[in-house]
Structure 1
Amino acid sequence: MEMNDAEDEEFGFSRNYFLAKELGGSAVKSTRKLSDINIVDEQELRAAVSNIEPKHEKEIEDLINSYKSLYPRWAFDLRCGLGLLMYGFGSKKTLLEDFASTSLTEYSVFVINGYLPTINIKQVLISLAEVLWDQLKTKRGAPSKSLAKDQQPFSSRSIDDLLSFLDGSEDRTNDFLLFVIIHNIDGPGLRDSETQQYLARVASCSNIRMMASIDHVNAPLLWDKKMVHTQFNWCWYHVPTFVPYKIEGTFFPLILAHGNTTQTAKNAVIVLQSLTPNAQGVFKILAEYQLSHSEEEGMPIDNLPEGILMARIACYIPITSEALEKLLVEMTQ
C-alpha cells in the first residue's frame, strides 16, 4: 500500500512538472531586457554600497574572536613546515593580519595582496628577496664571502635567479623564518598556472612559511598533487567570517554601472567569456561591422557569412565605439 502511494506521488509530481512546462511555453513572454535598466554611475553605485548598514556585527565579532583560540595551533603548524590555507565565506584579511600581529611578532612577515588585479609576480619576488637578504645580514652581521656575491641588485635578476636565491641553502641555517601571508592566492592577478608554480617554489623554500586565503569555488584546481602535498604542503582550515569583501571588492568591476571606456570593455569581455566560441565569433563580426558602419543601427542578418550560428543573447551592455575597439583587442588576445 505504501509503495502504491509513493508511485502515485511520483507520478503526480512528474505530471505537474510537464504541465507547468507546457503552460510556461504558451504564456506571453516578457519583452523586458537588461538594457532597459537605468544604469547608474559607478562612483554613485559604490557610494550607495558603502552606505549599506552592516548587520549581525556582534555575531560576526564573536565568531572571529572564537578563531583566536586556534592561533597557537596555526603558529605551531607553520613552524613545523606546513602551509596554512584558509577558506570559507567572508573576507579573511583582518583575521590573517590579526594572527600575524599577535602570534608572529618575533618573526618577519611579508604580506601579498593577491586581490590586486595589477599585481606583478616578479616585483613580489624582488621584494621578498630583499626582505630575506636583510634578514641574512641582521642574523650574521657582515655578509660572508658566499653571500657577498648575492649583493647584485635583485631588480636586475631573472625570476629563476630570484627563486634560486630564495631557495639557496648555502651558508644558511634554519635559525630564522620568514612568514609570507597571501590574501587571495586565487586572485585574478595570481590565477595563471605559471604564477602558481612560482608561488609553490617559494612555499617550499627552507626559510619561508606560507599562509594564504582562497575564495573562488574552483581555487583547488589551480594546483596538482605535487604542489598541494609537497610544495605548498597545505593544511586546510575552514574559517568563515561573514565579513564583507569591502577592500577586495573595490578592485572588481560593477557590471550594472556606467564606467570609463576600459572598464566598459572589461565588463563586455566578462559577458562574452560565458558564450560559446560560435557566439563569440558572431559578436566579433558584428563589432567589426559596427565600427566600419557607424551610421547604421546594426548589421542585417542576411549579411552574416554562411555557416555562422546566430546566438540568442540574454543580456546587453551599452558600449561606445572606443570601448568596442578595445573589446576587439581583448577578443583577439
Structure 2
Amino acid sequence: MDVDEIDEEEFGFSRNYFLAKELGSSRKKSARKLSEIDLVDEEELRQVAANIEPKHEKEVKHLISSYESSYSNWLFALRCGFALLMYGFGSKKALMEDFATKSLTEYSVVVVNGYLQSINLKQVVITLAELLWDQLKLGRKTTSGSLCKSQQPFNTRSMSDLLTFLDKPDLEVEDCFVCILVHNIDGPGLRDSDSQQCLARIASCSHVRMVASIDHVNAPLLWDKKMVHTQFDWYWCHVPTFAPYKVETKFFPFILAHGGSAQSVKTASIVLQSLTPNAQNVFKVVAEHQLAHPDEEGKFFHTWVSHFYLHFHVCRRN
C-alpha cells in the first residue's frame, strides 16, 4: 500500500467519523426544558454547601502566611504614594485584613466590602475625613502651628468639600494619611462608572492610601489610562491564595435554587436601571397596558413597533 492510498484511507475514516457524529447528534435532540429542572430551596442549598468539607486547608494557610514577608514592601509602596491592588485566584479578604492588622497599626483604616449589593461611598468619605481630622488633632501640626478650633461637621459637607479636605496640600504633617481597604473593588456594589470614578478620586487624595482586591478577569476594563496611572497609581501584587470565597459569595443567590419573588423583582429592577430613559419609558407603557388589560395575552412585537412608530409621528406633528 503506497502513501497516497494510506492518505486516502485516513481521509475517508475522518470524514465518516464526523458524518457519524453529525447524524448522531441530529437524531438525539433532547425534549427537556430548563423550566423542568427541579430547583431546591436556596436556604437548604446553602446549608448543604456550608457542610462541604474544605480541602487543603493546611496548604492554603501556609500559602497565605508566606506573603507576610512582603508586608514591609507593601507598606513602603503605600508610603511612597502608591495604591496596592491584590489579584490572583482565591479570596484575598483574610490576607488584606492580616496585613492591615500587622502593618497598618499606626494608621486609621476603613474597610469597604465591595461584595455587598449597595455601598454608601459618601459615608465612606465622611469617615475617612473624620479619621484624618482626629490624626491631625493628635499630631498638633499644621502649617499654621495649630488646628482651627471651629470645625464644620463633616456629615454636612458636600462630596467635593470632603475630597478637597482629604487632598489638602497645606496639611503638611509628615506621613499623615488614612487607609481604605476595599474588598472586591470590582464587586456589584462598586462596578458602575460613577462609583469607580469616585474611588479613583479618593485614591488620588494625598492623605489617603488604598489597598484593594479584584477577582474578575475583566476588572481592569473598569478603568481608563488616567485612572490606572494617575489616580489609582496601582502597585500590582500577585497573591493567589486559593482560599474559598465563603464570605463574598454569601450575598449572591445560587443559580440552581429558588430565588423567590423578591429576587425576581430585584433582578428586574437592576435590568431596568441599566436601560436608557427612552427604553425605560417603553417598558413603562407596556406594563401599564398589560395592567389595564389583565385578560389579554399580550401583543406581538411588530404590533408594538407599529404602535410606537405612530405615536412618535403624532407627537412630532403636535
TM-score range, shorter chain: 0.7 to 0.9
Q: What does residue 134 of structure 2 align with?
A: 134
Give the structure 1 partner of residue 89 of structure 2.
89
The answer as to 2:225 corresponding to 1:225 is yes
- Equivalent residue for 2:41? 41
Paired with 1:138 and 1:304, the residues of 2 have a C-alpha distance of 69
Listed one character per residue, the Cα deviations across residues 113-145 of structure 1 (whole Å, up to 9, x for unaligned) are 111112111111111111111111111189969
Going from structure 1 to structure 2, the CA distance change for 1:133 and 1:21 (only over 3 Å counts) comes to farther
Deviation at 1:233, TM superposition (A): 0.8
Unaligned runs of 5+ in 1: 274-279, 310-333
Taking the aligned partners of 1:176 and 1:86, their CA distance within structure 2 comes to 23
Where does 1:149-188 land on structure 2 (aligned, <5 Å)?
151-188=151-188
**Shift in Å at residue 5 of structure 1?**
9.0
TM-score (norm 2): 0.79
Q: Which amino acid aligns with 1:181?
A: L
User: Are 2:112 and 1:112 aligned?
Assistant: yes
Offset of residue 308 of structure 1: 7.9
Per the TM alignment, residue 59 of structure 1 is displaced from its structure 2 partner at its CA by 1.5
CA–CA separation in structure 2 for the residues paired with 1:202 and 1:253: 31
- Mapped partners of 2:228, 2:291: distance in 1: 48
Pair 35,97 (structure 1): closer, same or farther in 2 beyond 3 Å: same
- Which residues of structure 2 form unaligned runs of 5+? 274-279, 306-318
3-state secondary structure, aligned to 2:160 = helix
**In structure 2, C-alpha distance between the alignment counterparts of 1:77 and 1:221, rounded to whole Å:** 24
- Structure 1 length-normalised TM: 0.76
Partner of 1:60: 60
Residue in 2 aligned with 1:306?
A: 302
Q: Which residue of 1 aligns with 2:22?
A: 21
2:265 is aligned with 1:265: yes
Deviates more, 1:7-16 or 1:171-180: 7-16
CA offsets 1:273-310 (integer angstroms, 9 cap, x no match): 9xxxxxx9x999997787566668x55xxx4142789x
AA of the residue aligned to 2:251: F
Matched residue type, 2:22: K
Residues 88 and 241 of structure 1 are in contact (CA less than 8 Å); yes or no, is this contact kept in structure 2? yes
Aligned pairs for 1:269-308 (under 5 A) are: 303-306=299-302
**Between the two proteins, what is the percent identity of the paired residues?**
59
- SS of structure 2 residue aligned to 1:189: coil
Aligned CA-pair RMSD: 3.7
Q: How far apart are residue 16 of structure 1 and its match? A: 4.3
Asked whether the equivalents of residues 122 and 159 of structure 1 are also in contact (C-alpha less than 8 Å), the reply is yes
Cα shift readout 1:196-224 (whole Å, capped 9, x = no counterpart): 11211211122221110001121101111
CA 21–133 in structure 1, closer or farther in 2 if over 3 Å, else same: farther
Q: Secondary structure at the match of 1:148?
A: coil
The answer (yes or no) to whether the contact 1:116–1:251 under 8 Å persists in 2 is yes
Distance in 2 (CA, whole Å) between partners of 1:271 and 1:37 is 24
Q: 2:129·2:166 contact (CA, 8 Å) conserved in 1? A: yes
Q: 2:115 aligns to what SS in structure 1?
A: coil
Provide, for residues 66-85 of structure 1, a one-character-per-residue CA deviation record: whole Å limited to 9, x for no partner.
Answer: 21121111111111211111
Deviation at 1:55, TM superposition (A): 0.9
